[in-house]
Amino acid sequence: MERSGRYVGLSLGLLISAAAVGLAAAGSGWTGHELFVASSGIGFLLTLLPLGWYLGQKFDHLKERSVRDSLTCAYNRRFIEECFPRLSEQALGRSKKMTVTLIDVNDFKVINDTYGHIAGDHVLNRIVDVLKGRTDRGEIIGRWGGDEFILLSPYAERGAMSSLHLEIQAKLEALSQQENKRLSVSIGSAVFPDDGKLLSQLVACADRKMYENKSTIKQVETAPPARRMNA
């Protein structure tokens, strides 16, 4: 969590205390009131520093909550949209590529209809836990909307992305056994700047690939057993 608010609060506390001491000293001329001035300054300091820290802490908490999804605590869509220009600019400056990945929970409506919305919310949180477990290279997880998540990765190597997709699928298979529910996702990725330089362009490209993946999964699931084994 950022602590900028706390540091600002402490700084304000120090400045106000110093100003109070300065004004009192200027008014008294540092004569017989020196002790009173000093004690007043210490009193202001002891009062305002904790208050500044407390208010700054509250500001940091509010700021953190404003960029997080209230259900899953993944970053929200607004944060992703606001931070992407900065990330893409850094990538261009370093001649690096990055990947935008969309992850959609398959048949999530069935989960909600069968087990209820509380169970559906629980599933979304568990899936976010799975995704957060795969952020060892600086990936950023966000909830894009509903049962769809977005992953910003500071790399675009084909092998790394294939490994990421396979690892997510494998962890979801394990999660399916734990939850006693069939859980799977469809995944599509787009590379910056090859597939676009704007987030909207990359999301559109990743979305197309995600639905291609979803169609493939559906075909495998509905295929006869013999064909399914060969898929």
pLDDT given for residue 222 in this prediction: 73
Residue 140 dihedral angles phi and psi, to the nearest 5°: -115, 125
Please compute the mean of the pLDDT values over residues 46-65 and round it to a whole number: 61
50-64, 88-102, 193-207: segment of lowest average pLDDT:
50-64
User: Model pTM?
Assistant: 0.73
What are the pLDDT digits (tens) for 111-142?
A: 999 999 999 999 999 999 999 988 888 999 99
Q: Is 189 helix (H, G, I), strand (E, B) or coil?
A: strand
pLDDT given for residue 9 in this prediction: 47
pLDDT given for residue 113 in this prediction: 94
CA distances, 17 to each of 24, 48, 58, 96 (Å): 11, 7, 21, 48
How buried is residue 62: exposed, middle or buried, by Cβ count under 10 Å (0-12/13-18/19+)?
A: exposed
Q: Which of 198, 97, 89, 195 is nearest to 154 (CA)?
A: 97
Structure tokens at 166: 């396979």
Q: How confident is the model at residue 47 (pLDDT cuts 50, 70, 90)?
A: low
pLDDT beyond 80 at 58: no
CATH 3.30.70.270 is held by the domain 77-230: yes
Q: How many CB atoms lie within 10 A of CB 102?
A: 26
Q: How confident is the model at residue 21 (pLDDT cuts 50, 70, 90)?
A: low
pLDDT beyond 60 at 204: yes
49-53, 118-122, 227-231: segment of lowest average pLDDT:
227-231
The C-alpha atoms of residue 151 and residue 13 are separated, in whole angstroms, by 40
Please compute the mean of the pLDDT values over residues 155-172 and round it to a whole number: 90
What are the pLDDT digits (tens) for 71-97?
A: 999 999 999 999 999 999 999 999 999
